[in-house]
Chain A
Amino acid sequence: MKRASTFLGLILVLALTSTVSSAPAGPGDSGAYRDDGFATAEAGLSPTEIAGAEIWYKATAGSARFTTYTFQQRLGVLIDWYRVLRADQQGERFKAWGLIHDPDCCVPGSAGCPAKSLDETYGFEYCRGDDQLLSHVGKPGYRDPACDFKDPGGRGDKQSPCDLQFGTSTGALGLRKFPNPRFDAAKWQKVNGGRLGTWEGFTKRLSDDPKHPDFKVSHLADASIEPPYLIGMACGVCHIAFDPLHPPKDPANPRWENLKGAVGNQYQRISEVFASGMPRDSPEWQLFAHDRPGTVDTSAMPNDSVHNPGTMNAIINIAQRPTFPNEKVLKWRPVASCPDKSDPDVCWCEPGKPGKCKERKLQVETVHHILKGGEDSIGVREAIQRVYFNIGSCAEPCWLNHLTDARQIDPQQRNFGQTEFEIGQCRRDCPNLRAIEDRLDDVLQFFLSRKPTDLWQARGLEDPRDLVEQLDKELGKGAVDRGRMVFAQNCARCHSSQSEPFDNRDFLAKDEKGNRIDWLGNDKPTLASEVGTYRCRALHSNHMKGHVFGQYGSESYHERAGDSNVADTTGGGRGYYRNISLINVWATAPFMHNNALGPEICGQPAAPAPDFYASSYVEKTADGYRRLPPEQAPKCWPYDPSVEGRYALYKASMEELLNPDQRVPKVTLLDDDIRIEVGLRSIGNHKIKTLKLQIPEGEPAGLLVSLDYKRLVDDLIAAKADPGALKARLVAHDKEHGAADAALLGHLADALPHHLDDGDIYKVGRPEASRLLRLYGNCTADFENGGHPFGGNLPPADKKALIAYLATF
Chain B
Amino acid sequence: MRIRSFTFSVLAVLVLGVGCKTAPPPIPFSDYKAPYATKPDFARVELDHPLSAADRAKITPENLRALPQEKVDQIYARLTAGPIPDGAYTGDLFFADDGGLERISKVMGGARGFANDLVLDQLRLVVRLLWKGKVFYRDKRELRNMIDDRALVAKLFDVDVNSFRTGQFNGKTVALLFPAKLFCGQSNLDSRRESVIIDYAFGDDVDGYLPKADSVAGRNGLQVRDEIRRVRPGFYLGRAYMGKIFVLNFTLYNEAAAKAGGAAAEDCWNGKDNPESQQVADVH
Which of A's residues lie within 8 Å of B, judged by CB? 62, 64-65, 69-70, 73-74, 76, 140-144, 147-148, 151, 155, 160-163, 165, 167, 178-182, 213-214, 217, 219, 221-224, 230, 344-345, 395-398, 400-402, 405, 407-417, 419, 421-422, 425, 429, 546, 678-681, 683-686, 717-718, 720-722
Look across to chain A and name the residue whose beta carbon is closest to the beta carbon of B202. Answer: A222
The CA of A429 and the CA of B108, in the complex, are separated in Å by: 38
Look across to chain A and name the residue whose beta carbon is closest to the beta carbon of B46. Answer: A429
The CA of A178 and the CA of B276, in the complex, are separated in Å by: 7
A73→B186 contact, CB < 8 A: yes
* Residue B53 at the chain A interface, CB threshold 8 Å: no
**CB contact between A720 and one of B111, B219, B276 (< 8 Å): that residue:** B111
* Chain B 210-226 interface residues, beta-carbon cutoff 8 Å to A: 212-213, 216, 219-223
For B276, list chain A residues within 8 Å (CB): 64-65, 142, 178-181, 230
A417→B37 contact, CB < 8 A: yes
A680→B37 contact, CB < 8 A: no
B189→A680 contact, CB < 8 A: no
For A413, list chain B residues within 8 Å (CB): 36, 99, 103, 246
15 pairs from A and B in contact (CB 8 Å cutoff)? A69-B186, A74-B188, A143-B279, A147-B282, A181-B275, A214-B220, A224-B182, A396-B192, A401-B192, A405-B244, A407-B244, A412-B98, A429-B192, A686-B158, A720-B110
Closest 3 CB pairs of A and B: A721-B110, A684-B158, A400-B191
B44→A223 contact, CB < 8 A: no
For A144, list chain B residues within 8 Å (CB): 277, 279
**CB contact between B41 and one of A74, A161, A396, A422 (< 8 Å): that residue:** A422
What mask results when residues 87 to 107 of chain B are scored 1 for a CB within 8 Å of chain A, else 0? Answer: 000000000001100011001
Which of B's residues lie within 8 Å of A, judged by CB? 34-37, 39, 41-44, 47, 73, 98-99, 103-104, 107-111, 141, 156-159, 181-193, 197, 199, 201-202, 205, 212-213, 216, 219-223, 243-246, 269, 271, 274-284
Look across to chain B and name the residue whose beta carbon is closest to the beta carbon of A721. Answer: B110
A684→B277 contact, CB < 8 A: no
**What's the least CB distance linking A400 to chain B, in Å?**
4
Q: Which of A407, A409, A412 has the most CB of B within 10 A?
A: A412
Q: Main secondary structure on chain A at its contact with chain B?
A: loop
For B107, list chain A residues within 8 Å (CB): 409-410, 717
B110→A722 contact, CB < 8 A: yes
For B275, list chain A residues within 8 Å (CB): 140, 181-182
**CB contact between B277 and one of A165, A396, A419 (< 8 Å): that residue:** A165
Q: Which of A402, A413, A429, A683 has the most CB of B within 10 A?
A: A413
A142→B278 contact, CB < 8 A: yes
**What's the least CB distance linking B262 to chain A, in Å?**
23
**CB contact between B158 and one of A213, A402, A415, A685 (< 8 Å): that residue:** A685
A681→B220 contact, CB < 8 A: yes
Q: With A76-B244, A221-B219, A422-B41 in contact, do A70 and B278 touch (Cβ < 8 Å)? A: no
Q: With A223-B197, A680-B221, A684-B159 in contact, do A147 and B212 touch (Cβ < 8 Å)? A: no
Q: With A224-B202, A345-B44, A401-B192 in contact, do A147 and B279 touch (Cβ < 8 Å)? A: yes
For A680, list chain B residues within 8 Å (CB): 216, 221-222
The CA of A83 and the CA of B102, in the complex, are separated in Å by: 42
Q: With A345-B44, A396-B192, A683-B157 in contact, do A412 and B35 touch (Cβ < 8 Å)? A: yes
For B103, list chain A residues within 8 Å (CB): 410, 412-413
**CB contact between A415 and one of B36, B187, B274, B281 (< 8 Å): that residue:** B36
For B141, list chain A residues within 8 Å (CB): 224
Task: Given contact pairs A214-B219, A413-B99, enumerate 19 new A-B contacts (beta carbons under 8 Å).
Answer: A65-B269, A74-B188, A143-B279, A143-B281, A148-B283, A160-B282, A162-B282, A344-B47, A401-B41, A409-B107, A411-B35, A419-B39, A422-B43, A425-B44, A429-B192, A678-B223, A680-B216, A684-B156, A722-B111
For A409, list chain B residues within 8 Å (CB): 107
The CA of A70 and the CA of B199, in the complex, are separated in Å by: 16
For B243, list chain A residues within 8 Å (CB): 407, 678-679
Look across to chain B and name the residue whose beta carbon is closest to the beta carbon of A143. Answer: B280
The CA of A396 and the CA of B156, in the complex, are separated in Å by: 42
A224→B181 contact, CB < 8 A: yes
For A405, list chain B residues within 8 Å (CB): 188, 244
B36→A412 contact, CB < 8 A: yes
Q: Which of B157, B190, B213, B276 has the most CB of A within 10 A?
A: B276
A160→B284 contact, CB < 8 A: yes
A717→B108 contact, CB < 8 A: yes
B44→A178 contact, CB < 8 A: no
The CA of A799 and the CA of B103, in the complex, are separated in Å by: 62
A396→B201 contact, CB < 8 A: no
**CB contact between B274 and one of A62, A401, A683 (< 8 Å): that residue:** A62
B37→A395 contact, CB < 8 A: no
A683→B216 contact, CB < 8 A: yes
For B43, list chain A residues within 8 Å (CB): 397-398, 401, 422, 425, 429
The CA of A407 and the CA of B245, in the complex, are separated in Å by: 7
For A219, list chain B residues within 8 Å (CB): 202
A417→B186 contact, CB < 8 A: no
For A722, list chain B residues within 8 Å (CB): 110-111
For B47, list chain A residues within 8 Å (CB): 344, 425
**What's the least CB distance linking B108 to chain A, in Å?**
6
For B220, list chain A residues within 8 Å (CB): 213-214, 681
A416→B110 contact, CB < 8 A: no
Q: With A683-B216, A717-B108 in contact, do A162 and B279 touch (Cβ < 8 Å)? A: yes
Look across to chain B and name the residue whose beta carbon is closest to the beta carbon of A165. Answer: B277
The CA of A402 and the CA of B41, in the complex, are separated in Å by: 8
For B182, list chain A residues within 8 Å (CB): 224
For B41, list chain A residues within 8 Å (CB): 401-402, 419, 421-422, 425
